[in-house]
Amino acid sequence: MSRTIPEGWATGPDRVHLPCDLSKPAEVEAVAAALRELMPREGRILLVNNSGFGAYGEFPAPGLAHNLGMLDVNVRAPVHLTGLLWPELLARGGMVANVASLAGYQPVPLMATYAATKAFLLNWSVALDTEGRPRGVRSVAICPGPVSTNFFRGAGFSQPTGLPGQTALACVDEALEAMASGRAQVVTGWSNRALSWFGARLPKPWAAALGLRAIERKLGRRAR
């Protein structure tokens, strides 16, 4: 079968890289169409919704457009791409892995929009698992705490947070173990699991107030 690769898209013997601006619905539609053409015609499917970014500061810092873009990339794009590929997942079976966050378990002042996007992704993913499981499609919400990546720099932190973090490989290892065991959600790192347990059970205004105090104490000032 002839497979047409758009100009500028990289291919290799074992992989194909399809660039896509997830904030643009038309590009999500295009990449989903390309995936349908390129992927093998049989076998189970694994879709990993990993892309996302954050912002640090009092809302709407660093700008309303940044917050709206966060909603597009962190929330709308995973729903959009999963929905476009859902017929293939139902027909062939497989799994959707959604990278949420420890932040999804409670309100997080100074990262209000980001935490809310991850709360959506966490709850949506678990509900999706319940719907899809009888039809052979699983969904897992992967909820890391701080990980040794450039996330905090990209979110606008101008100084080290001092937060203990997992390596990316350790986080991936725990996620893969949870996926293999059929769990619908996993918080990576034992200390993060304890924080998620307490954060989910506190009244939300209390959790928000404690979160703000912890951030201000850690960084020594409030973000503007």
pLDDT > 70 in the chain, percent: 83
- Report pLDDT digits (tens) over 90-112: 999 999 999 999 999 999 999 99
Confidence of residue 158 (pLDDT cuts 50, 70, 90): low
Q: How does DSSP classify residue 102?
A: G
Identify whether 56 is a catalytic site residue. no
User: What is the pLDDT of the chain when averaged over all its residues?
Assistant: 87
CB of 223 closer than 8 Å to CB of 212: no
Query: Given this model, what pLDDT does residue 156 score?
Result: 54
Query: Given this model, what pLDDT does residue 149 score?
Result: 56
Domain(s) labelled CATH 3.40.50.720 in the chain stretch across: 44-219
In this prediction, residues 9-28 reach a mean pLDDT of 81
pTM, to two decimals: 0.84
Distance from C-alpha of 22 to C-alpha of 172, rounded to nearest angstrom = 23
Which one, of 156, 158, 175, 157, lies nearest residue 167 by Cα? 175
Of 139-148, 159-168, 197-206, the poorest mean pLDDT is in: 159-168
Catalytic residue selected from 56, 105, 114, 152: 114
Which one, of 157, 162, 50, 53, lies nearest residue 113 by Cα? 53
- Report pLDDT digits (tens) over 138-153: 999 999 988 765 555 5
Q: How does DSSP classify residue 6?
A: P
| The listed CATH number (3.40.50.720, 3.40.718.10, 1.10.620.20, 1.10.3720.10) that belongs to domain 44-219 | 3.40.50.720
Query: Given this model, what pLDDT does residue 39 score?
Result: 87
Distance from C-alpha of 135 to C-alpha of 56, rounded to nearest angstrom = 40
